[in-house]
Amino acid sequence: MSRIRKEKGVALLVVLILLVMMSALAAKISQQFCRNLQKTHYQVSQQQLRWAMQAQEKVVKDRLQTDASGESQPLAPDGDWHQPLETQGEDYTVVSQVEDAQDCFNVNNLLAAEKLAQGQNTPAVPEKPLKELMVEQILTRSGIGQSTAEEIYLQLVDYLDGDSTTVKEGAESDAWAGVVPARLPANQMMRNIAEIKLLPAFPAAAYAKVSKLLCALPDSASKVDINTLSQEQAAILAALFPGKLTDDDAVRLIESRPETGWENIEAFSKVLEQNFPQLKDDLPRVAEQLSINSRYFRVNFVGNTDDLTLRVASQLQVNNEAGEIVTWQRRYRMIE
């Protein structure tokens, strides 16, 4: 009798162990199924938002064809092109906002040789090029010391140019040898201004301010659109006249801008000369860096469903010669 009871006890224990194992396996299968189902649901929602954003992007491009086509047509700061768009579906919402991407100084412009304005003579004492002065002043206005700003400029030029020699005629591999983590100049255009953080001398803490004033466009001859500069970007306008125009002066100049924007560079120059006659001699070369319209735009999309938020930034380029607008960059960021 004792033996039979022991055998029954062992059998019961085995059954219990099997039940526990089967329960654990079933729970794992159920958990995996739920994860896969949730992942599929996220993917479907994300794809749905992407399709809605692409549809909105077509509307944005149609607006820009009307408002941003034509070299001599001024871009109104608050024109239809700038108005937000909203699309609501059964279980999603997409909102987009268009911004001018030429409301900054494009660092890739440093690849183009600076030309003297018509009638301007070469100074007896060599001066720093305007673009160099602009970059250094923008950096110092962002809280960076003058010596560090000068060093950053030199490293920026080395990063962009196609050779392996520094501005000071040394080997770039030697100049960047002590960088941690190890890296070398890209020797090509920047695709995103965030790359400036790769420069050894650049302080990461300054990026938040610098990224609002400097940008990276796929062009070495872009200009600053004075019709869309905000008061927070007055430092860009002041940097065009280094040491001669303060940020406060630039703010007042932006505040005086007509609601529909300046009709042409001559109209802007006239206002500038009336208010700051001391800048008259600087106007010819500064005018080469300015525009009253734009060929580059960024579109910030925010899509929401019950489960996730998808943020997308599209970079657009207006090609007036081809009569089309192309998307040259798109970046995604999903938030659950």
- Taking only the tens place, the pLDDT of each residue in 284-300 is 889 989 999 999 999 99
Level-2 CATH architecture, domain 49-101+294-336: 2-Layer Sandwich (3.30)
Distance CA 28, CA 54 (A): 39
Q: Which stretches of the chain score pLDDT less than 50? A: 117-120, 122-126
Q: Do domains 49-101+294-336 and 228-289 have the same CATH topology?
A: no
Distance CA 19, CA 12 (A): 10
Percent helix, percent strand, percent coil in the chain, to nearest 5: 45, 15, 35
Cα dihedral 310/313/319/325 (nearest 10): 10
pTM summary value: 0.84
Tokens for 50?
């992407």
At 276 the pLDDT is 93
Q: Which residues contact 219 (CB under 8 A, 6 or more apart)?
A: 106, 108, 109, 295, 296
State the residue for tokens 């002043």. 137
Three-class SS state of 33: helix
At 257 the pLDDT is 95
CATH fold for the domain made of 106-219: Ribonucleotide Reductase Protein R1; domain 1 (1.10.40)
Distance CA 42, CA 140 (A): 45
Distance CA 306, CA 303 (A): 10
Tokens for 126?
């060599």
- CATH class entry, domain 228-289: mainly alpha
Nearest to 327 by CA among 300, 294, 298: 298
Q: Where in the chain are the domains?
A: 49-101+294-336, 106-219, 228-289
For residue 335, how many other CB atoms are within 10 A of its CB?
9
Amino acid letter, residue 81: W
Tokens for 80?
């239809």
At 10 the pLDDT is 74
At 19 the pLDDT is 81
DSSP string computed for 50-105: HHHHHHHHHHHHHHHHHHS-STT----TTSGGGS-EEEE-SS-EEEEEEEETTSSE
At 125 the pLDDT is 40
Distance CA 135, CA 107 (A): 8
Cα dihedral 123/126/128/131 (nearest 10): 50
87 contacts 215 by C-beta, under 8 angstroms: no
At 16 the pLDDT is 79
Phi, psi dihedrals of residue 94, rounded to the nearest 5°: -125, 130
Three-class SS state of 332: strand
Distance CA 148, CA 134 (A): 14
Distance CA 168, CA 165 (A): 8
Output the CA–CA distances (angstroms, integers) from residue 310 to 38, 236, 332, in the order listed.
16, 32, 7
For residue 198, how many other CB atoms are within 10 A of its CB?
17
